[in-house]
Structure 1
Amino acid sequence: MAYSILFVCLGNICRSPSAEAVVRVKAAQRGINLTLDSAGTGDWHAGEPPYGPMIKAARSAGYDLSDLRARQVRAADSGFDLVVAMDADNRADLREMLPGVEVRLFTDFAPDSGADAVPDPYFTRDFAGALRLIEACADGLLDAVEAGQV
């Protein structure tokens, strides 16, 4: 069975689906077999596609988000090998939603970025900037997977 990773943000329409798509592409390029998914701590976007401007930014960078649909974190998600939060608030919520599960910040995998969170482009409107940080975090995460550090 492939190593499994769940990416989590607030509504599962910008950051976490982008992280899922970016890691999927980059893992395939490296020949790494992973099981990937994304979810939100909130449920208000459940069933919806990612946010239009995020889809556009991702498409411009070569990533396809069109088949992804938002969902809320559920108890069964405690079975993922790694749960990755986009910011400290998401991590705190996840610790309550999935007790006993270790949750890492995505930016932990890109320490040279100087970022302690992936800013939510739904609010900042910087979709391209969020995507660039997600790409840097994805590279670091995949380096850690290859090195057996996660």
Structure 2
Amino acid sequence: MAHVVLEAALVDAGLAGAVEVTSSGTGDWHVGNRMDRRAAATLTAAGYDASRHRARQFDPSSAQGIDLVLAMDGDNLADLGGVSPRVMLFRAFDPVGTGGDVPDPYYGGDAGFEEVLTMVERTSGTLVDLLSDALARSREGRR
């Protein structure tokens, strides 16, 4: 969900060509599959296109050149330890409840997916603002 929302926010901000977003899990359980149908339905109802997303597994050897790796929870953060100097929790950028885990709604009801979408949207908004500012400063530094 976060990949789809963050990518859409970057497009809306005119930053799609300047920032690349990839998404992957730390395990191989769902590699190649579409996202959970409830996650896709929640995104679709909110106006997002979840149809292109496919599950992948994180490859530590591809971390070279990645500026920032965002983990959704503490377990993922531990699994990713050492793959990049910039590994952080996604919600480190959440203006509400900074630093907590993004709850996994998989074993709950539809309301959990709505809660995660709200969390991801506001956090993605903050990330896009920060990225926009950083890119503007970078452009200024090159002049």
- TM (normalized to structure 1)? 0.80
Post-superposition shift, 1:115? 6.1
In structure 2, the gaps of 5 or more residues are 136-143
- Does the CA contact (< 8 Å) of 1:87 and 1:117 recur in 2? yes
2:6 matches 1:23 = yes
* Larger-gyration structure (1/2): 2
CA RMSD, aligned part only? Answer: 1.7
Paired residue for 1:46? 31
CA offsets per residue over residues 117-138 of structure 1, 9 Å max, x none? Answer: 1101113331111011000110
Post-superposition shift, 1:67? 1.0
| Deviation beyond 6 Å, 4+ runs, structure 1 | none
Greater fraction of residues in strand: 1
What does 1:88-127 align with in structure 2 at a 5 Å threshold?
Answer: 88-95=74-81, 98=83, 100-113=84-97, 116-125=100-109, 126-127=112-113
In structure 1, the gaps of 5 or more residues are 1-17
Task: Count residues in correspondence.
Answer: 130
Paired residue for 2:65? 79
- Does the CA contact (< 8 Å) of 1:78 and 1:101 recur in 2? no
- TM (normalized to structure 2)? 0.83
CA offsets per residue over residues 56-113 of structure 1, 9 Å max, x none? Answer: 00001111111111010002134311111111111110115x2x43211111111324
